[in-house]
């Protein structure tokens, strides 16, 4: 199957079945989203949603977070992954927001990446969700699912390479949604260790499933020949 056809079928399925996907992180404004995304690195959205209400109640805006001690922030996020580093990042991020951006969330990739704890992926999430920009944040789910479906070539061995491969074939108006489609599919169906291929509605054009079927067929043939 040609790559163009894979992308067409990918878009056709999700625009029909999940036309308005959204992040599963809970937030009320762009500041809360930024904090939640920083915390979500190598951690589940479920865990972040459990600890964020108390965190946001104590630090409802960048000003209060910028004035906080790292130790106090740590006490609210101790159950997430890498809490020491994330506490430092959150306080540093808030201070930079106040000192350089007047407490407003930047609207460009370069400016967002000047914030402690904000890399390319996090910046793209903010640009996509807050500003509806056609940016593709590539996390572990997007990376895995893109390769398995055949949307990204095997030569795309970095998040940036996968990002470029996806951006080259997905129309701009669908890019913010496609980010969520890939994440949610990876989170609930295309699992890292045991993908639920039997439940997957994309298996008819999935490269991973096609190769797996061929492998299984070959194994069965060998077993028949040995009998």
| Extents of the domains making up the chain | 30-129
Which of 3.65.10.10, 1.10.340.30, 3.40.50.1370, 3.20.20.70 would CATH assign to domain 30-129? 1.10.340.30
Q: What are phi and psi of 224, to 5 degrees?
A: -65, -40
Give the pLDDT of the chain (227 residues) as one tens digit per residue.
Answer: 788 999 999 999 999 999 999 999 999 999 999 999 999 998 999 999 999 999 999 999 999 999 999 999 999 999 999 999 999 999 999 999 999 999 999 999 999 999 999 999 999 999 999 998 999 999 999 999 999 999 999 999 999 999 999 999 999 999 999 999 999 999 999 999 999 999 999 999 999 998 886 664 443 443 344 44
pTM score of the predicted model: 0.88
pLDDT of residue 212: 82
Contacts of 65 (CB under 8 A, 6+ apart): 35, 59, 73, 90, 91, 93, 94
pLDDT of residue 220: 43
Mind telling me the catalytic residues?
121, 139
pLDDT of residue 224: 43
CA distance 160 to 26: 27
CA distance 113 to 20: 28
DSSP state of 201: T
Cα separations in angstroms, 189 against 10, 15, 19, 25, 36: 15, 17, 18, 19, 24
Cβ atoms < 10 Å from Cβ of 92: 17
Question: What count of residues does the chain have?
Answer: 227
Cα separations in angstroms, 79 against 19, 43, 74, 118: 34, 10, 9, 20
pLDDT of residue 77: 97
Task: Tell me how far the alpha carbon of residue 148 is from its chain's centroid.
Answer: 16
| Listed residue (115, 138, 126, 146) closest to 27, CA to CA | 126
CA distance 208 to 6: 13
Strands, E, within 17-131: which ranges? none
CA distance 203 to 10: 11
Q: Which residue has the tokens 């949604």?
A: 177
Q: Which residue has the tokens 């407003």?
A: 104
pLDDT of residue 225: 45
pLDDT of residue 215: 60
Helices (H) and strands (E) in the chain, counts: 12, 0
pLDDT of residue 72: 98
pLDDT of residue 214: 61
Instruction: Flag whether 43 is marked binding.
Output: no
């Amino acid at each position: 199957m040609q790559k163009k056809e894979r992308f067409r079928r990918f878009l056709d399925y999700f625009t029909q079945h999940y036309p308005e996907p959204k992040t599963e992180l809970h937030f009320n404004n762009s500041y809360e989203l930024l904090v939640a995304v920083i915390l979500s690195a190598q951690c589940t959205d479920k865990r972040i949603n459990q600890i964020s209400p108390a965190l946001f109640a104590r630090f409802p805006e960048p000003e209060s977070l910028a004035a906080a001690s790292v130790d106090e922030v740590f006490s609210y996020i101790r159950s997430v992954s890498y809490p020491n580093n994330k506490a430092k990042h959150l306080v540093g991020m808030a201070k930079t927001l106040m000192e350089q951006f007047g407490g407003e969330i930047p609207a460009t990739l370069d400016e967002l990446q000047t914030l402690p704890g904000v890399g390319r992926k996090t910046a793209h999430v903010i640009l996509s969700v807050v500003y509806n920009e056609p940016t593709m944040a590539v996390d572990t789910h997007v990376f895995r699912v893109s390769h398995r479906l055949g949307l990204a070539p095997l030569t795309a061995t970095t998040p940036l390479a996968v990002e470029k491969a996806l951006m080259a074939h997905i129309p701009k108006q669908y890019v913010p949604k496609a980010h969520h489609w890939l994440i949610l599919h990876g989170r609930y169906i295309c699992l890292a260790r045991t993908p639920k291929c039997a439940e997957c509605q994309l298996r008819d054009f999935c490269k991973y499933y096609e190769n797996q079927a061929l492998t299984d067929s070959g194994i069965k043939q060998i077993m028949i020949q040995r009998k």
